[in-house]
Each structure stands twice: as C-alpha cells, then as structure tokens.
C-alpha cells in the first residue's frame, strides 16, 4: 500500500485500519469492519486508493452478492417475488432480518469484512430462506456503502 498526502491537510499518511462503520439504505444495512485506510497524524482518514470505493462496490455487486440466497423479481408495475429454489411465490412480509458476512481482500490490501443485513423471506413451499431478489439488494448497496463511508468521515475520492 502506497502512502499519499492527506487530502485535507496535505500531511503524510500511514496505513491504518477502520475498525467499523455502518451505513443503511433501507431495507439494506451494511457494516464495514477492519477496512484498510490511510490516516494522517491529525486523524484525517482517506481511502487507500482513489478508485477504492469503485472497486469495493463492483466486487460486492458483481461477485459477492451473487452468492447470497435470493428469489427472483417479477412484474413491471406490480412487483412480486418467486423462490429461487422451487419458484413458489414468496410472502410480502419478511420472516426476520439476517446478516450475511463477506470476507474480502482487494488487490494487495489486507483482508477486511463487509456485513450485509437484509430481510429474509421463507418460501411457503420448500422452506428456503432467501432475499426477495439480488436486484433489490444490488440497487441499495452503493447508497448503503456511501452512508458507511460518510459515517467513517472518509472524504469522496
């Protein structure tokens, strides 16, 4: 990881770890844990690379979230959801919320964790628990991540 001048005070930065930061874009909540950052002596934080937010969003949306159990969204005006296992219609009300931990390593950066918390729905036919759809989760991921970055006082890249 290469050190860069602080974007706020132009002081030198050192590698650091963001212990945790949370963001939410209902119905999705997101928690960052142990994410690598750069920090200066005055405590200002910044991303390890200007492209880091884009890399993280792309990794989550294109690779990690694809592994989550999810149903299928159908309908243009009136949305309804079908089980990803058997195709039965899913309930409109969630059973509960579940947290899905995702362990990441981007490039040569150290490992860190992202936890996604979202409503899960039990299929009335096969009892499979799942998200309504990946499309729904992917739609909210960038905003939830932006809220977590703002909560961590990480300036836009």
Residue 157: inside a domain, yes or no? no
Res. 157: pLDDT tops 70? no
Which one has a higher pLDDT value, 135 or 3?
135
Residue 131: inside a domain, yes or no? yes
pLDDT reported for residue 150 = 97
**Number of folded domains that form the chain:** 1
Res. 111: pLDDT tops 80? yes
Q: Taking residues 112-133, what's their average pLDDT?
A: 97
pLDDT digits (tens, 9 = 90+) for 12-26: 999 999 999 999 999
Residue 98: inside a domain, yes or no? yes
Residue 2: inside a domain, yes or no? no
Q: 150 in helix, strand or coil?
A: helix
Q: Which phi and psi angles does 155 have, rounded to 5°?
A: -70, 150
Residue 102: inside a domain, yes or no? yes
User: How far apart (Å, rounded) are the C-alpha atoms in residues 3 and 5?
Assistant: 7
Between 5-9, 21-25, 29-33, 140-144, the lowest mean confidence (pLDDT) is in 5-9
Sign for the CA dihedral angle at 150, 152, 153, 157 comes to: negative
Q: 31 in helix, strand or coil?
A: strand
The boundaries of the domain holding residue 56 are 13-151
Count how many Cα atoms sit within 13 Å of the Cα of residue 58 in the half-sphere of its side chain: 6
User: How far apart (Å, rounded) are the C-alpha atoms in residues 73 and 134?
Assistant: 8
Residue 101: inside a domain, yes or no? yes
pLDDT reported for residue 61 = 96
Instruction: Indicate whether this model's pTM tops 0.85.
Output: yes
Element (H, E) at 3: none
Residue 6: inside a domain, yes or no? no
- Cβ(81)–Cβ(132) under 8 Å? yes
Residue 45: inside a domain, yes or no? yes
- Cβ(109)–Cβ(116) under 8 Å? no
Res. 126: pLDDT tops 90? yes
Between 58-62, 91-95, 97-101, the lowest mean confidence (pLDDT) is in 91-95
pLDDT reported for residue 1 = 63
pLDDT digits (tens, 9 = 90+) for 54-84: 999 999 999 999 999 999 999 988 889 999 9
3-23 as b/e: b if 16+ CB within 10 A: eeebbeeeeebeebebeebbb
């Amino acid at each position: 990881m290469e050190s860069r001048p602080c974007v706020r005070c132009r002081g030198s930065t050192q590698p650091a770890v963001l212990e945790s930061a949370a963001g939410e874009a209902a119905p999705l909540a997101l928690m960052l844990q142990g994410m690598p950052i750069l920090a200066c002596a005055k405590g200002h934080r910044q991303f390890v690379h200007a492209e880091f937010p884009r890399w993280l969003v792309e990794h989550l949306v294109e690779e990690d979230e694809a592994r989550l159990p999810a149903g299928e969204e159908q309908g243009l005006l009136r949305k309804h959801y079908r089980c990803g296992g058997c195709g039965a219609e899913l309930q409109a009300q969630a059973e509960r919320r579940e947290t899905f931990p995702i362990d990441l390593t981007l490039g040569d950066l150290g490992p860190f964790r992202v936890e996604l918390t979202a409503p899960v729905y039990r299929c009335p036919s096969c009892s499979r628990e799942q998200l309504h759809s990946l499309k729904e989760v992917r739609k909210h991921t960038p905003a939830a991540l932006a809220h977590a970055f703002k909560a961590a006082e990480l300036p836009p890249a």
